[in-house]
Amino acid sequence: MRKLFLLLALAAIVAGCSSEPEKKGGEATPKPEAKKLSYETGRVAFQKTFISARGWAADAQPYRLESQYTKDAPVNTGKCGVWKAVFASVSHRASKPFTWSGVSEDDAPAPGVSGAAEDDFNPSNQNTQPFDLAFLKQDSDKAFQVAQAHGGEKIMKADPKQPVIYMLDWWPKENKLKWHVIYGSDLDTAKLRVAVDATTGEFLKVEK
């Protein structure tokens, strides 16, 4: 009987060991971390890229800011998970884009701020005129609200997941900094484009 008791006890110990979770290096296998998502308005994201741009060139000035649509973006907040700002430097005679990403997605750059290759910059080109940051007083969330009141609300009501992207640039002839609120994942497929004054927040016009 004593031998039978010992055999049963040993079998119970072996069964208990085999039911434990698989371990690696003496520790339980860690669970994969949840994706960290961060969405920002254009002005907030721009400030993150501005630091890196000034590290590249002390006289760096922005001439364009644009967002990139990502599949899980909150389309009705004026915020995006990816923003790209393009800066120009007269001393370098070059332009350089810097991208901020707050998401870990297949359709987005790695999280953080990253720079891309330099390109030529011509100070006389009217399409790439740098702007003074003092003109940027209204953020992308305000621009979205204005665009909603001028055709966007109807589009979003029909499709609450309608992609929305943003572009900010300087118009020398009008002496204005403009937000372009674009209802679509790119310019070519946009259902509506609304221009908003980035200084006053006033509606300017429907571009499409």
Task: Say what the alpha-carbon torsion angle 86, 110, 35, 143 is, to the nearest 10 degrees.
Answer: 10
Mean pLDDT of 79-96: 96
- Scanning the structure block, which residue is given the tokens 């389309």? 75
How high is the pLDDT of residue 17? 47
Q: How confident is the model at residue 195 (pLDDT cuts 50, 70, 90)?
A: very high
Mean pLDDT of 183-198: 95
Average pLDDT, the chain: 87
The percent of the chain in helix, strand and coil, each rounded to the nearest 5, is 25, 30, 45
CA proximity to 114, closest of 104, 103, 105, 101: 101
3 state SS of 26: coil
Amino acid, single-letter form, for residue 2:
R
Task: Give the C-alpha separation, 180 to 192, whole Å.
Answer: 10
How high is the pLDDT of residue 106? 80
How high is the pLDDT of residue 5? 41
Report field, pTM of the whole predicted structure over 0.85: no
Which residues 6+ apart lie within 8 Å of 114 measured at CB?
98, 99, 101
How high is the pLDDT of residue 27? 54
Task: Give the C-alpha separation, 94 to 10, whole Å.
Answer: 76
Q: CB of 90 within 8 A of CB of 96?
A: no
Per-residue pLDDT for 7 more than 60? Answer: no
Q: CB of 197 within 8 A of CB of 180?
A: no
Q: How confident is the model at residue 14 (pLDDT cuts 50, 70, 90)?
A: very low
Core vs surface per residue 88-107: b (16+ CB within 10 A) or e: bbeebebbbbbbbbbbbbee
Mean pLDDT of 12-24: 46
Mean pLDDT of 157-182: 96
Q: How confident is the model at residue 11 (pLDDT cuts 50, 70, 90)?
A: very low
Per-residue pLDDT for 34 more than 70? Answer: no
Instruction: State pLDDT tens for residues 132-168.
Output: 999 999 999 999 999 999 999 999 999 999 999 999 9
In the chain, where the domains are located: 42-206
Structure token digits, residue 126: 């009217």
